[in-house]
Structures are given as C-alpha cells and as structure tokens.
C-alpha cells in the first residue's frame, strides 16, 4: 500500500505541474474561437493566490499562467483582493527561456470597464467577494478553472465560457 501512495502522490504532482500549460491551451482555443490571437490580447487573471481568500502566492499556478501569457505576447493584468502587488522574479517566473526581465504587477480594480476591455478573463483563484455574475455578464470570454460559473450559465452565457 505504501508504494501505491507514493505513486499516487507523484502522479498528482505531475498533473498539477502540467495544469498551467493546459489553461494556456484553453485560453488560446477560446481566443481562437473569437478570431483573436494570444499575442496582443488583453487577458485579465482573477485570483493569483494559491487558494481562496488568502494572500500566499507560493506554488500558485497563476504565476506560471501569467508568465506564459506574457511570453506569448499577451497584455496581462490581474485582480486579487488579497494580493495587492505581485513580483515575477526567479522564484515565481520568468520561465526558462523567457526574454522578459523581472517585473512587478499591481492588482487592478475589478470594474465594468476592466472586464469589458479584456479579451479574456481567466478565473484562477475563486475568492469570495468577487461578483462572478458581473464578470460573466460583461466578459467576452471566460476561462473558468474553478467551475465558479456552473450555476449561472444560460445558453447565451455558456457560449463564452471555457471550463477545465
């Protein structure tokens, strides 16, 4: 039984390490359906903390997602009520081969304008207090990695949501 547990843990770590690239693929596919390239698109990431309602970004998949999107030429912003600033450095990115220098980002206010001007909104961490109905109503495309939109989808809204 002990060997099984070790294999299971290793498999879980492998799945988790591949998830950021899977999310990038979903974003790319969603933008393609809207006849947009990732390069030049405005992407808003909702939640950069490792889990809901905390300020810890260590091991957060959002860091890799942001880094990969920037490497692909996207203009990336984020909103996280628990993480006012985010430093992409050697501990959190840039990824190997990245041509970007270290950078610091600041959380933006989640306004109607910020949502509406984004080509894609990506829900990475589903913090309480975020109006996901507002996001769903105003966004052109939503990539929902937390299934937070499941109870809100009408046929019209479902067409602009991509889920894991």
Matching residue, tokens 């890799």 = 64
Long-range contacts of 100-104 (CB under 8 A, 24+ apart): 100/67, 100/70, 100/71
- Give the residue extent of every domain in the chain: 19-163
Strand partners, 123: 46, 144
Give SS3 for 117: helix
The count of residues in the chain is: 164
Encoded tokens for 48? 């950069």
**Dihedral of alpha carbons 101, 95, 87, 27, sign:** positive
* pLDDT at residue 164, as a whole number: 84
Give SS3 for 44: strand
Spans in the chain with pLDDT lower than 50: 11-12, 14, 90, 92-96
For the domain covering 19-163, report its CATH number.
Answer: 3.40.50.720
114-141 pLDDT, tens digit each: 999 999 999 999 999 999 999 999 999 9
> pTM of the prediction?
0.87
């Amino acid at each position: 039984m002990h060997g099984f547990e070790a294999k299971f843990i290793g498999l879980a770590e492998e799945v988790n390490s591949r998830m950021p690239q899977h999310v990038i693929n979903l974003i790319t596919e969603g933008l393609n359906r809207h006849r947009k390239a990732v390069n030049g698109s405005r992407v808003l990431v909702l939640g950069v903390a490792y889990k809901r309602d905390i300020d810890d970004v260590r091991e957060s998949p959002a860091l890799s997602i942001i880094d990969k999107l920037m490497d692909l030429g996207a203009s990336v912003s984020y909103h996280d009520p628990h993480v006012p600033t985010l430093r992409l450095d050697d501990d959190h990115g840039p990824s190997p081969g990245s041509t970007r220098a270290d950078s610091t980002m600041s959380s933006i206010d989640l306004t109607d304008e910020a949502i509406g001007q984004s080509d894609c909104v990506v829900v990475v961490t589903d913090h309480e207090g975020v109006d996901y109905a507002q996001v769903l109503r105003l966004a052109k495309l939503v990539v929902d990695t937390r299934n937070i939109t499941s109870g809100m989808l009408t046929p019209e809204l479902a067409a602009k949501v991509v889920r894991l």
